Amino acid sequence: MKLDLSPQDAWQPLPPSQWNEDAARHLLRRASWAAQPPEVARLMTEGLKAGLERLFPAKAGLLPKPRLISNLEDALPAYAAKIRDAETREQKQVLQREQRERQQQAIQDLTIKWLQFASRPENAVTEKWAHFLGDIYVVSYEKVNNPGHIYQHYDTLRQGGLGPAPALTKAVSRSPAMVRYLDLQDSKKNAPNENFARELFELFVLGEGNYTEQDIKEAARAFTGYRLRPDGFHFAANQHDERPKTVFGKTGKFTGDDVIDLAYAQSAAGRFIPAEMAKFYLSEAPLSPAYLATLGDWWRSTGYDLRQLAHRFFASRLFHHPAFRGNYIKRPTQLYLGLVLDLNINVAPYPRHSLNTLRLMGEEPFRAPNVSGWDGGRLWINSSTLNARRQLVETIFSPVNEENLNADEQVEVVAARSQGAGTFTVTEERLEKMLQSMTPEQITARFLDYFLPVKVGEKFRADVLSFLTGETDEAKRLARLRSTAVTLLQSPEYQLC
């Protein structure tokens, strides 16, 4: 399907005559993790505009700080003292190892808590948005090494993610995780470190080709003096280079915030986030510059308001165009959370189940491969990641042997159950209950229409039906039902949205 919209028409709202259930499903599959029938129905009742106002609200829901992270933060000063005062090298090493293990547990716990939070229908859209912003303002636990800082970074993205972009960028420049990740804390008055300044221009605001090496060198001087203390960000005035700098042709005694404002004064800033949105939500092929220019000019005029941008983007004729239906490769987090929503189950509160699979599929939350985040698109897919995607479906359809869980995991399981979120797998019994009193034809229709984002042909449908009914032994009938669901969820079509 060719994209046949003019740049003027592209960002106009979808005409009401084209708003239907297919469009609602498309919106949910792209802006959220999956298109659950109740969510589709709700959108149909309220309409596209009101629906988007709700899905992208003025204030996003906030993930509460996980207990393990607060505990770690509380214990940190005493622990640091203990390590410092250790009598022998061996004792010190033991304590350090202990500390690393606690941090490791805390970051795993944060990841699970995030997946649980993001899988609730009321948070799905804003959490995908935070995940999108986290793929721009990238930090990685590998380097940050502090679970509390990672939590705080994403909290910053949630709190400012639907406000003006310049304010968000300034908040991010003070995020302790970012200060560490891009070496701001090592940047000194007489020896500025260029890492942050470069990524600010290249990856946060403007994009490659819209600044010079000299702009970076000068901007780096404006970001000197950013430091971390145990209680958070601290500006060390004596390490800040107060002399004049020349950035984008303007000269002054600029601060870091001034440089961020100077960057947003460049017209390229209007196009940058829209281009990233198109890549994250729409299509791995870059959107034509003509489309980006129209949207970018308008977005600049709003003072770079992210919420207005989201509303306009997801309501647009371009977003809903047939050229973008059912052809985007799901990122691993979407595949995982989409399965959780599609199958009405809960995120399993033990890392082996979820985190290991996400890692094998190539997207471990909070551990981006490099400063530019994940490349995505077809690069998600190769024989080994496809294998991991298939394995995930198998895991979800296999009972958990709870005796193999360790004590911590069992505590988490009990806690999840007490909150009514204790269904981690799809058993054959559960599957049968879901589908009871349906004919094989109805079950086939339900699977195909519910799971797959593309309309398959009659032969495909017939293949599914004949496999489903191909088992005559009554004792194995349920197993065949399970096999049918598993295989459809492993199919190439289910990898798309």
Partner 1 sequence: MNNSYQALPTTRREFLAWGGKGIGLLAFSQFAPSFLVQSTLAATPSPEKDRSILVLVQLAGGNDGLNTVIPYEDPEYYRLRPTIGIKKEEAIRLDDTLGLHPSLAALHALIQDGRAGIVQNVGYPNPNHSHFRSSEIWETGSESNEFLPSGWIGRFLDNACGGAPGTAGTGGDPVAVHVTNELPQSFQSRKPQSTFGIRGGGNGKNRENLAFLEKLVKQDDHEANANASFLRATMMDALVTEQRVQKVLGGYRAESAYPGSNFAQSLRNVAALISAGMSTRVYFVSLGGFDTHSNQVNNHANLLRTLSEGLAAFQKDLVAKKLDSQVLTMTFSEFGRRPNENESRGTDHGTAAPLFIMGSHIKSPLHGTPPSLKLQKNKDLEFSTDFRQVYATVLDKWFACPTDQVLGKTYTPLPFI
Q: How far is the CB of 284 from partner 1 (least distance, A)?
A: 8
Q: Which of 372, 423, 425, 427 binds partner 1 (CB under 8 A)?
A: 372
DSSP output for 351-407: HHHHHHHHHHHT--TTB-SSTT----GGGG-SHHHHHHHHHHHHHHTS---GGGS-H
- The DSSP line for 47-73 is -HHHHHHHHS-SS---PPPPHHHHHHH
- Using CB atoms within 10 Å of the CB of residue 3, give its burial: 0 to 12 exposed, 13 to 18 middle, 19+ buried: middle
- Residue 445 makes contact with partner 1 by CB under 8 A: no
Told to check if 16 binds partner 1 by CB under 8 A, we report no
Report d(CA 28, CA 42) in Å as an integer.
11
- 162 CB-contact burial (10 Å; exposed 0-12 / middle 13-18 / buried 19+): buried
Site string for partner 1, 85-124 (x = CB under 8 A): ----------------------------------------
- Least distance from C-beta 156 to partner 1, angstroms? 23
Binding flag, residue 490, partner 1 (CB under 8 A): yes
The CB-of-458 to partner 1 minimum distance in angstroms stands at 7
Which range of residues in 25-33, 85-93, 333-341, 450-458 is near partner 1 by CB under 8 A? 450-458
**188 backbone dihedrals φ, ψ, rounded to 5°:** -115, 160
Spatial separation of the C-alpha atoms in residues 115 and 94, rounded to whole Å: 32
> Which position among 83, 329, 421, 435 is part of the footprint of partner 1 (CB under 8 A)?
329
DSSP one-letter code for 189: T
200: left (phi over 0), alpha (psi -120 to 50) or beta: alpha
Nearest distance in Å: CB 343, partner 1: 17
CB–CB of 334/47 below 8 Å? no
- Window contacting partner 1 (CB under 8 A); options: 20-28, 293-301, 370-378, 434-442: 370-378
Question: Minimum CB separation from partner 1 for residue 185, in Å?
Answer: 9
DSSP 95-160: HHHHHHHHHHHHHHHHHHHHHHHHTSTTTHHHHHHHHHHHTTS--BHHHH--HHHHHHHHHHHHHH
Which residues ranging from 172 to 191 are in contact with partner 1 (CB under 8 A)?
A: 183, 186, 188, 190-191
Provide, rounded to whole angstroms, the least separation between the CB of residue 494 and partner 1: 10
Q: What Å distances lie between residue 166 and 90, 99, 169, 215, 403, CA to CA?
A: 48, 37, 5, 18, 51
* Shortest distance in whole angstroms from residue 357 CB to partner 1: 9
Tokens of 286: 């870059």
Q: Give the contact letters, 126-165, x = binds to partner 1 (CB under 8 A), - = no.
A: ----------------------------------------
Q: Which residues pair with 251 in a beta bridge?
A: 246
Q: How far, CA to CA in Å, does 374 sit from each of 94, 107, 133, 369, 382?
A: 35, 19, 12, 7, 15
Choice between 42 and 390, CB closer to partner 1: 390
**Contact criterion met (CB below 8 Å) for 357 and 392:** yes
Tokens linked to 431: 């599957």
Binding of partner 1 by 82 (CB under 8 A): no
Give the nearest distance from C-beta 194 to partner 1 in angstroms: 6
**Which range in 49-57, 84-92, 298-306, 481-489 contacts partner 1 by CB under 8 A?**
481-489
Residues 374-403 that bind partner 1 (CB under 8 A): 375, 378-388, 390-391, 394
Tell me which stretch binds partner 1 (CB under 8 A): 47-55, 102-110, 272-280, 321-329.
321-329
Among 98, 208, 402, 441, binds partner 1 (CB under 8 A): 208
486 lies in the site for partner 1, by CB under 8 A? yes
Query: Does 214 engage in binding with partner 1 (CB under 8 A)?
Result: no
First-to-final CA distance of the chain: 16
CB closer to partner 1, 11 vs 181: 181
The stretch near partner 1 (CB under 8 A) out of 69-77, 103-111, 147-155, 194-202 is: 194-202
One residue of 217, 234, 317, 417 binding partner 1 per CB under 8 A: 217
* Residues at the interface with partner 1 (CB under 8 A): 183, 186, 188, 190-191, 193-195, 198, 202, 208, 213, 217, 326-329, 360, 362, 369-372, 375, 378-388, 390-391, 394, 454-460, 463-464, 467, 483-484, 486-488, 490-493, 495-496
